[in-house]
Structure 1
Amino acid sequence: MMNFTIVIPTYNGGTLWKESARRLADQIPMPFRVKVIDSSSKDDTQKTAQDFNFEVERIDQKDFDHGGTRSYALADIETELVVFLTQDALLEGEKALSNLVSVFDREPEVVCAYGRQLPHLDANPLAQHARYNSYKPNSYVASLTDAFPAGFRKAFLSNSFAAYRVDFLRSIGGFPKHLILGEDACVAAKALVANKKVAYVSDAKVRHSHNYSVLQEFKRYFDIGVFHSTQSWMIDELGSVEGEGVKFALDQLKYICKSKKYHWLILSIFTSIAKFIGYKLGKKTSSAWCKAIQKIIYV
């Protein structure tokens, strides 16, 4: 197995982080290194990391940046691979880490890979469907010319549980800075355009999901719209995402009906409408208007 370093940005991780750290410590074959970048947590997040002998580096909360902080963490990494986790991702199964990194041995052209995310045990039906829809049971290795996955989906990747070749990340300058989300997808897209490959490893599993409210989904999809607008080169290179939202919304309704949790149907419909409006506003709004709307919705 190739050697790797694990990097985890944290902030007020709470009890979920304690369980995440425990599961991680149970899987780490020493002397693999766990590097925690903590944004000045006000709870015992740093102590939890230290209790498991993880390295901890504190940064100011105002200095955290999804891409920039992860790139900053690369500075002193000497291993071939880096694995990124989030504090709320719980490794599932004894070989989650080894299964993820093993794809780099099998596939020399793969420069980034991500694992399968299952819903947390307390996930509501909408959160369950989001994970089952996005993270299928079958693994794949994709290049720019492969028919599957189609279009923009080729660059789908999540830093909640993902691994990268360190030399490739450094060759492209690391993750882009000042993105509210999507730094992982940007790197995947750059890999594909550079004729490298992206892998999805379905037997590398974590539990990770969110029970978002309608307003939270609106905010999230507004941000996705802004991301797609500012990173339009990705759509130009990979293809459009139009029509995916409708398919997702209809599939969610089917999932709820199949689960016989009919009281979630109304919330599913309102959530889908909020996503659609949020995405369209974020994608079509000028930069000045985007900033104004973001100030309002994030008050």
Structure 2
Amino acid sequence: MKTVDVIIPAYKPGEKFIRQQRMLQNQTYPVNRVIIVNTEAEFLDRDILKDYANVYVRDITAAEFDHGATRNLGVSLSTADYFLLMTDDAVPKDEKLVENLVRMMEGDDLKQVPSGKDGGSYGDATASDKVEKNCKIAAVYGRQLATEESSVDEKYSRNFNYPDRSFVKTIDDLPRLGIKTFFESNVCCLYRRDVFDELNGFPNHTIFNEDMIYCSKMLKAGYASAYCAEAEVLHAHNYNGIQQLHRNFDLGVSQADNPEVFGGIKSEGEGIRLVKGNALSLLKKGRIFSTIRLIWISACKYIGYRLGKNYKKLSRKTIMKLTMNKHYWD
């Protein structure tokens, strides 16, 4: 049996983190160690972890945090065959999260399957899509489910990005899927440690999208990425428009800084398709206010993204007002 460690970057973890830790201790597939890379020691209550003998905490400062380097640090503290990266607010829906991820990683059937009832953001698979995938799966990401706190539009986007059927992606899917080929969210993602080391892990200095950057390297090296719809976590954010602007500014910066990954691949079309589908769904339900909110949120996302893509034309003062990750610019 392959060993699995769970690695969690944490910052001011709350009630969801407590539930997450409880669920990780009750998995049907045993978790070897839970490694928490915690930003600022004062913000983590150690008492909530005292009953868990397999939990290890490494504290770092806010100035040391980096989306790539912090996760690489966590991986360096693990000796497991596989490691599961999670965020501190992603709660396993049931006790079979790890089991389902490992099953997908080690499965022999690597055939492409339709991604959902309506195809989700991956489109309906045709007969030609259902070809044998001969690449070894090197990472498996799970399905993120909306929660009661999710807005109506977020519930739609969760279903759009995380459909109800599993599939496998290789670099051959790039012409069909575009930017979604590299989508592999490490809110909940299981990785092969040997492949991760072979590819030198995440970039050590990145503002965002470390998971997509790594997935790009992985697929280009001849490995496959899998999505496991049966591995489910509860994960919700209810960002307002200004928060989305800041978040998408950093997303745009990451794309501008990594042209070898994102250059020549348009990502706006995917967002437009999501907004159109979401708006139509809301209007059919008579949710006028929610539709207006969606338009506002979407506009903020787009403005932030375009500003981020063109950040080199902006003053440092403007950049510091727009970014979420101020230490990145130190």
Task: Tell me if both proteins adopt one fold, taking TM over 0.5 as the criterion.
Answer: yes
Name the Cα RMSD after superposition.
2.1
Which amino acid letter does the alignment assign opposite residue 277 of structure 1? Answer: I
Mapped partners of 1:4, 1:30: distance in 2: 7
Query: For structure 2, which runs of at least 5 residues remain unmatched after alignment?
Result: 109-134
Q: Could you tell me the percent identity over the aligned residues?
A: 28
Which amino acid letter does the alignment assign opposite residue 289 of structure 1? Answer: L
| Aligned residue number for residue 67 of structure 1 | 68
Name which of 213, 216, 222 aligns with 1:189: 216
SS at match of 2:173: coil
SS at match of 1:204: strand
| Aligned residue number for residue 167 of structure 1 | 194
Mapped partners of 1:118, 1:183: distance in 2: 22
1:8 and 1:84 in contact (8 A); partners too: yes
1:285 correspondence with 2:286: no
| Aligned residue number for residue 104 of structure 1 | 105
TM-score where L is the length of structure 1: 0.92
| Aligned residue number for residue 276 of structure 1 | 302
2:25 and 2:31 in contact (8 A); partners too: no
Which amino acid letter does the alignment assign opposite residue 294 of structure 2? Answer: S
Question: How far 1:243 sits from its partner (Å)?
Answer: 1.4
1:296 correspondence with 2:321: yes
1:36 and 1:49 in contact (8 A); partners too: no
SS at match of 2:153: helix
2:86 and 2:189 in contact (8 A); partners too: yes
| Aligned residue number for residue 116 of structure 1 | 143
Mapped partners of 2:294, 2:31: distance in 1: 46
Question: How far 1:256 sits from its partner (Å)?
Answer: 1.9
Distance 1:177 1:119, change over 3 A: same
| Aligned residue number for residue 154 of structure 1 | 181
Distance 1:294 1:120, change over 3 A: farther
Distance 1:255 1:51, change over 3 A: farther
1:50 and 1:56 in contact (8 A); partners too: no
| Aligned residue number for residue 117 of structure 2 | none
Mapped partners of 2:236, 2:175: distance in 1: 25
Matches within 5 A, 1:187-226: 187-226=214-253
Query: For structure 1, which runs of at least 5 residues remain unmatched after alignment?
Result: none
SS at match of 1:178: coil
Question: How far 1:147 sits from its partner (Å)?
Answer: 6.2
Mapped partners of 1:234, 1:52: distance in 2: 40
2:84 and 2:188 in contact (8 A); partners too: yes
Which amino acid letter does the alignment assign opposite residue 92 of structure 2? Answer: L
SS at match of 1:13: coil
